[in-house]
Amino acid sequence: MIPVRGYEGHSVGVLGLGRSGLATARALAAGGAVPVCWDDNEDAQDRARVEGFLVADLSKDRNWDGIGCLITSPGIPHLYPAPHPVIAKAWDMGAVVDNDVGLFFRSYGTPEWDGFDILPRVICVTGSNGKSTTTALIHHILQEAGRDVQMGGNIGRGVLDLEPASDGQITVLELSSYQTELARSLAPDIAIFMNLSPDHLDRHGGPGGYFAAKSRLFTAGGPDRSIIGVDEVEGRYLAAQLRETQNSGEPVIRISSGRKLQGDDWSVFARKGFLAEWRKGRQVASIDLRNMRGLPGAHNHQNACAAYAACRSIGLAPRVVETHLASYGGLPHRCQIIAEKGGALYVNDSKATNTDAAEKALLAFKNIRWIAGGQAKDGGIAALKPQFDRLRKAYLIGDAAEEFAEQLDGYPFEICGTMEQAVARAAADAEAGDVVLLAPACASFDQYSSFEKRGDAFVAAVNSLND
């Protein structure tokens, strides 16, 4: 745990008592503050009381006596579509509003650092897609290379649940737009912007607000090095702005998946399955990604470029990075290779909850026996039609099955209903060289409580098959 600094002896409001909220309350208490906790959910209130925290309804004026700061959980809206009533109350009471990420950066550096031989560093990863894989990949490479490294944020442990920094330690954080938007303190040493696609637009008041929330990690954080995905216009804009305002050393590394990057700056890009690093107009390294089973498809090649650039910035040699890229096994539910049976590959991409993510999965493979369906999103799978020629057959589950069957436009399909039946039917049809791919293009909530539970059901069904 990282004790929060700067609030000793003061009462601090904590809004939202899920994983990050309770970790925040514990870290505040460890730093000598008095957390005053609130959650609209009574079960969450009870969990806080069990841990001995004071619980008070912060929508009531009477409970704000002595509270000058409110720490809110990331999922609670503070501006759009409307501020949560407790956040609005904090403003009315003259309190500042922050989140756990702001507290982390406020508290991470301590006087003990003066005795360290190598200062600790923080690498932060943000963007619309690939954050979790990139964060886990950087952590894997550094750990396998013998570095002292820990990982958290939007993946694994909450930021305040991490260990206090040790000599030379590297902390890798995945940060969502919800986390970067509100944090009053941001100070990454290396910051990564992966990409941008429409998401959470109601929460950010449109695409401009969404991009502004992501870009705060760079514009407010002032990292020593920025690694910027430039496959979208927003990334190209951000890279140009950072190059213009930071003119010492090589502050920006541009990354891309699918095209060669021009110019004399530092760049890392992947084309036709090969990663290339260029500096000062010349190629300095090349890596063949094509047979790295934990990193299938162009989207994972972008993740590899980002992780490679971060590890090079830390000082790892290209061949060291290559070795540990090859040993990466992938994250659960994200193009995760589960098994090979009868020459057919079984891949779990339950995290593909929309057409954008499903398209990336479809593009990563050929001869696909596609398990899709669930709780449909607007437009269904019509946007995926250009990828239908990669399919051998679709096996449709959940509420969306009938709608998807109509949108397949003559391509072969079977309505299976359940995951177990879909896996069984796909396995019965599969031939050597086929890929049985779960990429639902749907939310899970018609049949499962989360995409993780849906992916677990796929894995269980695959494991129950006879070899």
Annotated binding-site residue numbers: 127-133
Tokens of 150: 């820990």
Other C-beta atoms lying within 10 Å of the C-beta of residue 371: 27
- Rounded-to-integer distance, Cα 275 and Cα 416, Å: 40
SS3 307: helix
- Contact by Cβ (8 Å): 234, 197: no
DSSP codes joined into one string, 249-289:
S--EEEEEESSPPPSSSEEEEEETTEEEEEETTEEEEEEE-
Q: Is 41 exposed, middle or buried (0-12, 13-18, 19+ CB in 10 A)?
A: exposed
Tokens of 369: 């026996």
Closest CA to 121 of 32, 199, 223: 223
Q: Is 351 exposed, middle or buried (0-12, 13-18, 19+ CB in 10 A)?
A: buried
Distance of CA 337 to the CA centre of its chain: 19
- Rounded-to-integer distance, Cα 45 and Cα 24, Å: 14
Runs of H (alpha helix) within 145-277 = 177-182, 201-204, 207-219, 233-245
Numbered residues of the known binding site for ATP: 127-133
- Rounded-to-integer distance, Cα 238 and Cα 219, Å: 9
- Rounded-to-integer distance, Cα 462 and Cα 457, Å: 9
- Rounded-to-integer distance, Cα 134 and Cα 120, Å: 20
> At which residue do the structure tokens 């749907």 appear?
442
- Contact by Cβ (8 Å): 172, 123: yes
Distances (CA, A) of 159 to 2, 3, 19, 30, 150: 8, 11, 11, 15, 10
